[in-house]
């Protein structure tokens, strides 16, 4: 793996595509399980973090979310994540919460969120600003997604900056979520969607044209459609790129229609040089055994030059949903 220069490594960074639940390290998972009377080793947890395709990844994600049962659990994992981000020189992060899963499990998002805010408040003084994305699960449908939007409203916090939808993008037609995104926009939330991860480029177009999303989660299917790449570049719609995630879930192999693939096969350099905004992130760092430093090293290994890595770093701040004066960027 190509090593980062000390200058790029030391730059303050922003991370915009990061799932709280996917950040739960094996040691923390063991603590959560012990709270529920289940003893497990870190090695046993790591085996649960092993998957061969996207559907198996979704099952692993489903399992890890099952360990979060009360507000103190959310406080614990948020604290762990904040400590981890500081080790990566991250000064601003937009963290996605699976609120759709909380509601499915009859939890109270407002109470969980209050615990998160209390737990992470001290990190502001240490130079880390955390903002939150309330996320619905696509396969749960539009009514469940609307409940996530209303939960974001009920929390009444300006730290909730966006609404998004993740999960299985091959389920439920995009058009069914129009009213949900209209409501999110009406309430002042920015709009995100996972698209073009395992679905085709048409899923990205639908998210842009039907839902007016402002950033695309993953979006690697755009490599199949030059006119879509032109559209992304023209409208300056960022792709939240997570190379290790795409490799581990099989999404990259699926989009490139070949197997095996390596990290250097990722289309990040093509997107960058096509003038599509790209923001580099880890997605689910614990599940994919990665961190932001590694993702920048991956980008260097793909051939991005130091000046291009510096521009990528700057784009993380530029396309954040908080004004740059509030993110801590120089």
Structure confidence by residue, pLDDT tens digits, 171-220: 999 999 999 999 999 999 999 999 999 999 999 999 999 999 999 999 99
Q: How sure is the predictor about 305, in pLDDT bands with cuts at 50, 70 and 90?
A: very high
- Catalytic position from the list 15, 169, 197, 295: 197
1 assigned to some structural domain: no
Closest CA to 254 of 192, 191, 312, 203: 203
Dihedral over Cα of 119, 122, 128, 129: its sign: positive
Is the CB of residue 203 less than 8 Å from the CB of residue 196? yes
**Which structural domain, as residue segments, surrounds residue 111?**
6-318
Within-domain flag for 323: no
Does residue 110 form part of some domain?
Answer: yes
pTM score: 0.96
Instruction: Establish whether 197 is a catalytic residue.
Output: yes
User: What is the distance between the alpha carbons of residues 111 and 257, in angstroms, rounded to a whole number?
Assistant: 44
Q: What's the pLDDT tens digit per position in 254-288?
A: 999 999 999 999 999 999 999 999 999 999 999 99
pLDDT score for 328? 47
Look at residue 47 and tell me if it is in a domain.
Answer: yes
| Whole-number CA gyration radius for the chain | 18
Residue 236: inside a domain = yes
Whether 329 is in a domain gets the answer no
As a whole number, the mean pLDDT across the chain is: 96
- Which pairs count as long-range contacts for 325-330, CB under 8 Å and 24+ apart, including other chains? 326/129, 327/14, 327/91, 327/92, 327/129, 328/12, 328/91, 328/92, 328/127, 328/129, 329/12, 329/14, 329/91, 329/92, 330/12
Query: Residue 71 maps to which CATH number?
Result: 3.20.20.140
Is residue 324 very low, low, confident or very high in pLDDT (cuts 50, 70, 90)?
low
pLDDT in the model for residue 322: 85
Contact 246, 197 (CB under 8 A): yes
Please count the structural domains in the chain: 1
């Amino acid at each position: 793996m190509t090593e980062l220069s000390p200058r790029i490594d030391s730059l303050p960074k922003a991370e915009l595509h990061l799932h709280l639940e996917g950040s739960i390290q094996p040691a923390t998972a063991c603590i959560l399980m012990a709270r529920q009377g289940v003893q497990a080793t870190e090695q046993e947890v790591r085996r649960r973090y092993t998957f061969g395709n996207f559907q198996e990844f979704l099952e692993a994600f489903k399992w890890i979310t099952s360990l979060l049962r009360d507000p103190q659990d959310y406080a614990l994992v948020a604290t762990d994540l904040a400590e981890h981000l500081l080790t990566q020189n991250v000064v601003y992060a937009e963290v996605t919460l699976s609120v759709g899963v909380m509601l499915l499990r009859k939890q109270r998002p407002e109470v969980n969120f209050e615990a998160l805010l209390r737990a992470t408040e001290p990190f502001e003084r240490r130079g880390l600003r955390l903002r939150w994305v309330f996320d619905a699960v696509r396969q749960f449908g539009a009514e469940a997604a609307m409940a996530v939007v209303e939960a974001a409203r009920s929390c009444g916090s300006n730290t909730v900056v966006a609404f998004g939808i993740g999960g299985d993008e091959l389920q439920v037609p995009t058009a069914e979520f129009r009213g949900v995104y209209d409501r999110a926009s009406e309430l002042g939330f920015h709009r995100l969607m996972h698209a073009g991860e395992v679905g085709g480029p048409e899923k990205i177009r639908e998210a842009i044209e039907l839902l007016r999303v402002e950033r695309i989660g993953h979006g690697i299917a755009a490599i199949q459609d030059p006119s879509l790449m032109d559209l992304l570049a023209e409208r300056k719609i960022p792709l939240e790129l997570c190379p290790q995630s795409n490799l581990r879930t099989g999404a990259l192999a699926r989009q490139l229609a070949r197997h095996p693939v390596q990290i250097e096969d990722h289309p990040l350099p093509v997107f960058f040089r096509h003038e599509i905004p790209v923001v580099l992130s880890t997605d689910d760092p614990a599940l994919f055994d990665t961190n932001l430093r590694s993702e920048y090293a991956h980008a260097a290994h793909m051939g991005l030059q130091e000046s291009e890595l510096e521009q990528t770093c700057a784009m993380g701040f530029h396309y954040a949903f908080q004004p740059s004066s509030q993110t801590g960027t120089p």
